[in-house]
Chain A
Amino acid sequence: MALIKPEPESAIVVDHVSKSFRLQTDRAHSVKELITRRDRKSGADHFQALNDVSLEIPKGSMYALVGHNGSGKSTLLRCIAGIYQTTSGSVRVDGRISTLLELGAGFHPDLTGRENVYMNATILGMSKKQIDAVYDDIVAFAGVEQFIDSPVKVYSSGMYVRLGFSVAVHVDPEILIIDEVIAVGDAEFQRRCFDHLYALRKKGVTVVVVTHGLNTVESMCDGAAWLDHGVLQLTGTGPEVAAAYMDKVNAAERAEREAADEALAEELGETTASGSSKPVQVEDVQITAVEFLDGDGEVSPFGVHRDPFTLRVHYDAIRPVPSPVFGIALFSSTQVHITGTNTKIDGVDLGTISGTGHVDFAVDALPLTPGDYEITVAISDEYVQHNFDRREREYHLKVRHGGRLAPEGFMDLRGSWSVGSGG
């Protein structure tokens, strides 16, 4: 008899939820409108923020909502938190919710840090006794011990935000809802935040987060949903959704660039009357091809485990580019980011390049286990700020067995084993 894995219980069930807003204008509306709800039925001045969204968030998972600005992520969070009432559909929530939609919500500038901690924690649903129990932790986590009896208006914006975050994560929620707030604070504080979220999750807290940090989604989230203009595009595991979303963003960017290229070509075409249909290259340098070479320098459609391997990037620079940075990133077919490097990381200065040419990245023995991989290749300026060209997971590499047993996972560490005796 097959063991049937029980379905994990849902902490949140969003069932065909739609939400529309009345568009606010400067004009005051008639009193009759407010009373009769007439405005609800006429759709003309309404904005549909969510359109028939359904999803389930399992208990104890970390769940991300991704999408561009204005895609309805925050509206969905507010519907889940009960701040907004849905226009149609329902949200079922099983557990005590704590919301973190803005840090330091309810902080009064004239009150001291201590007074505000109590105020803020109460708003988040804690009793005085509960706050007393974690008060010291809150202050220590925020690192504002020295200033706790000063009014928060003298706090730096960082201190203010840290104190707000600290209160929110010390509320003992069953479900924590976070809206893009982790991006604040310095690196050290961000790391502590993630550690704390991790600890909360281990305690079985369901975390729902809106984020633009796709790395967060990939590495930390069990599940994710992607919204676009209020319509649910995809739900799935964190890496799946992050990859799909990334592809969409890149495609949109490429389309934009192509449109710009075309527009430029048209302009040039008019002046030179050349009539050439070749798209005009706008960026200083672009990737023209990527090849894999085997140990003999022959082009090969695949790599072999532990054999010499070279990745060759062909470029075309229409203008001289000083010290460009070539970079590669390696992904598994399941979208796990395995490794990545670039010439800057490896301390290589390519000097000024112009015209066509290629850059090689060679390894003596390919340390990848047999399987399918995807490769991203990019060329950026010397400060790695501007991407001249970036091909997101456009290249597929198949790694074959090289006549030996291959290790598990993706990487071959190529270590050596030995045995010693005694202490």
Chain B
Amino acid sequence: MSTPAQVYAYRTLIVNLAQRDLKARYKRSILGWLWSLINPASTLGIYTVVFGVILKGVAPTMGSGRTGIFALYLFCALVVWNLFSGTINIAISSFQSAGGLLTRTYFPPEAPMVAGLVNVLLQAVIEACILMFFMLVVGNVSWTVVIILPIFVLLACFAFGIGLVLAVFNIRYRDVAYLVGILLQVWFYATPIVYEITLIGGAGHTFLQCNPMTHFVYAMRQSIYMLGTPTLINWVVMAISAAVSLVGGWMIFSRLAPRVIEEL
């Protein structure tokens, strides 16, 4: 099956597939690609109103010493979560919708999924830019912003490996896509995104520490909000989970995909 080198050889196709999906997504809309800016910006606006004004959520003090803003604190975690869930969902859907193409011409079956990943990463970068814009406005910026890059890369690998496995199973058992929708919701609340990990004690705390997403979220908040650096444990968990997921996912996908393609 396809090696990463073979997939790289098809990079023009991947770029084109990604472009096609992007173009098709905003066809016949007046604002076009601006929607990918408006969407996350409005989410941030809604959180500001709901958590800042109505619920008066309390966030830790920022790295710059400024009083905490809950909407930004939450948004840091959401950028990470959106990249994670977006990658898994796009892997499943793009493999399924590429079926018609894969039975008619040869290219690495990973290609449409990588194209989907490219678009999700692009969206994540846009969201990160919006986040950074508001961080600039409130004067809470430091060099630690560059840590976003390794976080995104590791997170993308982690999510993509999971997505590869789920995508291939989804062809034979369409239940997978539905199940994933539910499991992602559970996972969302099993990750300290809308609450702080310090609120949970005992066994719950240990459980949260075993969740790789906890570390990704913490690392993101640490570098963007607290203006610090993630802990060594964060790095170790992120790196190992990314490597295991990507390598394992790729192997399983490579083994099962050829047989599954015939059923697309």
Contacts and interface: CB of A to CB of B under 8 A. Distances in A.
B16 A111 contact: no
A24 B263 contact: yes
A105 B16 contact: no
B261 A83 contact: yes
Interface in A346-397: none
A290 interface: no
Given A21-B262, A29-B172, A108-B24, A81 B106 contact: yes
A124 interface: yes
B25 to A, nearest CB: 9
B60 interface: no
Contact of B101 (A78, A105, A110, A127): A105
Nearest to A115: B23
Contact of A83 (B16, B102, B263): B102
Contact-residue bracket for chain A: 20 to 34
B27 interface: yes
Interface residues of B, number: 27
A111 B259 CA distance: 31
A2 to B, nearest CB: 43
A83 B106 contact: yes
Interface string B223-264: 000000000000000000000000000000000101101110
A154 interface: no
Given A81-B105, A84-B262, A111 B12 contact: no
Interface of B: 12-13, 16-17, 20, 23-24, 27-28, 100-107, 169, 172-173, 175, 256, 258-259, 261-263
27 contacts: A21-B262, A22-B263, A28-B173, A28-B175, A31-B173, A78-B103, A81-B105, A81-B106, A82-B106, A83-B261, A84-B261, A84-B262, A85-B258, A97-B106, A99-B104, A99-B105, A105-B100, A106-B20, A106-B105, A108-B20, A110-B28, A111-B23, A111-B24, A123-B13, A123-B105, A127-B12, A128-B12
Interface of A: 21-22, 24, 28-29, 31, 34, 78, 81-85, 97, 99, 101-102, 105-106, 108, 110-111, 115, 118-119, 122-125, 127-128, 151
Q: Which 10 A-B pairs have the closest CB atoms?
A: A122-B16, A101-B104, A82-B106, A110-B27, A105-B104, A85-B258, A102-B104, A99-B105, A110-B24, A122-B13
